[in-house]
A and B are shown apart, each in its own frame.
Chain A
Amino acid sequence: MVESTIHATQAVVTLDVPLPGIIWGWMITLNMWAKSVGTGVILVGAFLLYRHKKEEMPNLRWVMPLIAFIFLNIFLLFTLTDLHQPYRMINIFLHPHWTSAITVGAWMASLFTGLITIMLIIGIGDAFPNIPFKGCKITAFGRSISPFYEKIFPFVVFLAIPVTLYTAIIMAESSARELWQAPAEVMQMMWAALLAGSSALILVSGNWSKESRRDLALVLAIATFFSFLMYMGEYFFSFKSAEAEATLAYVHSGGAYNVEFWFGMVLGFIVPFFLAVSTMKSDNKTLLRFAAILALIGLYMAKDVWLKIPQMLPLS
């Protein structure tokens, strides 16, 4: 643990109670990662719709809300599961405390998921009128409100931005963890969403036009490049607080999360960057998909390390 490596002179703790270990663990990592995919596909999907005709991406209208719906539900499921009193989640809606980013985020994410659900019903209803069975009232309802899709889409894109970013505000409110106090956390969340969103859409872009796939590769390349730069900046240069320095010094010195961190950097950012750049010219679908999968795995590892390492520092 970090405290064992702190360079303190002539002062040793000789009796104390056990300290808590990692409090926010893999569920919160998965929660953040899934949310990045869920909001990222909307942001990147909007970018593609702005740049290209719908006909170039024939399944985007239903596959985009479907991916968002699945990953937002994973995000909400693990948000709920991580609570020690899951049934009391309702208190966030019955007794909201608006200074808390957890409260604001929960309200926004719930509204966002609701709108995505409507888009999914419309998208599926239009594309597959006989799914799940012929005469299904839900898909029939979706078809009946079909024009509504285009009307709510701008609001969904707009809402995707704060839903992406609010986790950075929660981390900023976690004032005991100095590593998360950097303003760069907000940008890291945005790059993570663009990285995850482009990666998820790459995996379903097999029959899309070459130009749209090239744009996805471009977004992936830019997102991996800047994500890597920001992690490196924070890892090596940006901190002035003693707590953050002590935390990072432990990782620098080959601590528990050193290997996972560098695997995340290489697998998630460096390799996908070069693969994405190379496929922009060659349009190699397999390589691009490989880059997308690596980026998603690496992003999870990077987020996992960044979430856990500040929790290893003793607070008292």
Chain B
Amino acid sequence: MKLGFLVDLNLCMGCKGCEIACKVENNVPLSSWRLRVKYIDIGTFPDTSRNFTPLRCNHCESAPCERICPVSALHYLENGIVNVDSARCIGCAGCMMACPYGAIYMDPETNTADKCTYCAHRIESGMMPACVVICPVEANIFGDVEDDTSHISQYIMAHQGSGVQVRKPEKNTNPKHYYVGGGTQTLDPLAHQRIEGYNLFNNVTHLKHVGDPNHGVLDRFLAPFVGHGEHDNTSMMDWAEDGKSETHQEGGH
């Protein structure tokens, strides 16, 4: 069994329901995303279109994050899922440097690496991932890509002619996450621009921190003895002063 995902970008309408469902299901903290939907505007007025691209872990068959993890916190499950054992993670961020898709984040609550696990806990109970259940147009298709009769395999076969794509195939990671209806401009991060101030709802382009913003280097050593105290990380919600002048910041140091 090899579980995989397929997103039909022709169907996706950018409602971000999957993003929210993922956040709720997995208790993903503020300032972190296991799954996100990126809006890209293509063309020149009046010939323009808005494209929506859900982005999550690709659960690569040859996963660079699994290879670089020094303690096997990132590991394969038998069904092909690349899972995370946050109790073992040392927080070296090697996986964040290795993942070509930027799918891994440092959880600010636990100071350990985390990412999409295809809702492994739900699958274990015979349920579908939360993002699949919530999608109003069934753009998210999930199943066993090694089973020719599964919905996802049938979908891939039916759309071979019109183009089933993966992100960054040149990286030879053999992703198990496919897109139908995508193109270079939506799937290649170098094929579109991020212009400061162009974002619809805010102009925050970069996080100021990696991991817990309220606990510096010394706090990491003291944390087991004093706990997190009164810090609740809600300060991350205060974007007002962060956005405009932000270009880049070193995080977590």
Contacts and interface: CB of A to CB of B under 8 A. Distances in A.
B38 A20 contact: no
B209 to A, nearest CB: 8
Contact of A316 (B50, B55, B196, B224): B55
B252 A13 contact: no
Contacts of A82: 92, 253
Interface residues of B, number: 74
B195 A12 contact: yes
B29 to A, nearest CB: 13
A176 B98 contact: yes
A254 interface: no
A184 interface: no
B206 to A, nearest CB: 5
Nearest to A89: B90
B10 interface: no
Nearest to B253: A25
Nearest to B94: A102
B96 A15 contact: no
A87 B224 CA distance: 9
B247 A256 contact: yes
Nearest to B99: A176
Interface residues of A, number: 60
A27 to B, nearest CB: 5
Interface string B79-99: 000000000111111101111
Given A4-B193, A14-B40, A92-B90, A23 B252 contact: yes
B217 interface: yes
Nearest to B250: A25
B71 A91 contact: yes
Nearest to A1: B248
Interface stretch (A39-47, A68-76, A115-123, A167-175): A167-175
B198 A19 contact: no
A206 interface: no
A20 B99 CA distance: 13
A35 interface: no
B40 A19 contact: no
Contacts of A18: 31, 204-207
Interface string A10-38: 11111111111111111100000000000
A176 B96 CA distance: 8
Contacts of B44: 10
Interface stretch (B100-108, B115-123, B133-141): B100-108
Contacts of B189: 3, 313-316
Interface of A: 1, 3-4, 6, 8, 10-27, 81-89, 91-92, 95-97, 99-103, 106, 170, 173-177, 242-243, 246, 256, 308, 311-316
14 contacts: A1-B194, A10-B43, A13-B39, A13-B198, A17-B33, A25-B252, A26-B253, A95-B72, A173-B98, A174-B68, A175-B98, A176-B64, A176-B98, A316-B38
